[in-house]
Structure 1
Amino acid sequence: MSTLQPTFAPQRIALLGAGRVASQLGPALLQTGHQVVSVWSRTAASAQSLANQLPGAAVSLNLDFAAQPPADLYLLSVPDAAVPEVLAAARFPVGALVAHTAGALPLALFEAYPKVRGGVFYPLQTFSPGRIIDWHAVPLCIEAADEAGQALLLALGHSLSKMVQPVATLQRQRLHVAAVFASNFTNHLLGISHALLTEAKLPFELLAPLLRETVEKAIAAPPFSVQTGPAARRDAPTLARHQAELSAHPAWLALYKSLSDSIQQQLPPAELNNEAGL
């Protein structure tokens, strides 16, 4: 990813949304010298709460941005399912640059609105209440329908992050699927681990060194090449014992079997790790 920063120019930005992404992005934009001119949300209270954290930001009571002070960028940071609905209801100044922050939505959805210039400003990160994001380390994936829009979004990205890259829709959508596996599915599996340890009256912290080594190893080498465990070893007795342990949790048992099968299908017999270990 590019680490070169173009000349910084403060931007006037209207935020559409006040949820997990917008509530982290708004203050970050302000801290890097940009001006958040307005905040709109489907609930006025949410818009007001975020605007209170952004000196100079007004609360937009409606989606008629053509009648409001102009912005250089209108940033749609709403749930993916709401983006088409908001675009259809909004009225932007002719020629306005409007970008969404979604990983899975195509740039082409802006083609239905020829009076605006479409773009994508996708932060590859998970956002949760109470967690502070280090934006310098967040990969930002940029796409735009025109060169001027691309340049503005890239410059905005570089003002926030050291990891900024143009990423076309098809690549970004595949990236989003990969991110779901890496983050959302992994977190769900960790939730199952937490629940099993709670049942056994053991602390979840016991897994911390294992988790760190697993992630560090997967970053250092192709993850499939460092797969370990009973499924990779085709250790039938251990697999059977684990399945018996999970008999009280049918859904988790089915998931265990499915993941074990997937591991075995991915690794040909000649490449199996038959050494002892987790």
Structure 2
Amino acid sequence: MNPLDFTNHHRLTPGKNTLFDMSVSVVSAAASHPFGVIKSLQQSQGAVRRELSFRHLGSGLPLRLVSTPIFLGLGGCNYFFFYLFSEGGTRPLNVKELIMSALFSATLSAPFYQLTDVAIYQQNLARVRGEQCSLFFTAKKVWKIGGVYNTFPITAFLCAAGSINTLALGPLLFYHVSTREKSQAAGFAALSGYAMAYALLTQPLDTVRTRMQQNLTSKFSHVVLEIVRHEGIKVFWRGGLIRGLNHTASALSYVFFQYVVAKEFIS
């Protein structure tokens, strides 16, 4: 049985690549999002970066708590399109349907993704400057400055790619990207997600499976060590214990979900 052939699996059976497993993988990845929010805030640039230091990030905690349900909603969007494409859950999805469901759900969720992260950033900056910083005020300000509209195409692209990647199309090029770029989770997902989608649509499944097996057996431990070294040690040295733990946990959770998902394909 070809493990990449969804039609060979029984419906809603744990351990198989079915609707149930896909929705669980999305919710699991979404649950780790607060780590990514902290990372994105810490990577601010220019004058804002100097003004918004790490010690102020805690002031945005309430809004970060709001962001997690939003990203769990991304899992819900994916589940809805899974349900739609699978004709009410009566049959498993094939690869093309999986890609389409990820693209549709990501496009719907992109504005919320952008609004959440930009609002958190603006709220923390307002607190540092002693300005009004309620959730309503922050959200209104973000929409007014056009932050969501100006970056929507990019955000939609990254959300779609990240969804494809998270939903189990696997890390075809994940382990071949420069380690220096591993802190950019969104760009990372875009590269590996779209590369994997392209490979599945254009290459023989046996070729894709062989490549994934090689990645998992020879690269996984190396990648984990490299991410810990670059993400963890770097920020431990510069930013202290909590910041280092946030970066490291985010990086490791990303690799872990990739590993679990890819193993499901080749087991």
Is the TM value for this pair above 0.5? no
Q: Which has the larger radius of gyration?
A: 1
Bigger helix fraction: 2
Q: Which has the higher contact order (CA 8 A, sep 6+)?
A: 2
Bigger strand fraction: 1
TM (norm. structure 2) is 0.24
TM (norm. structure 1) is 0.23
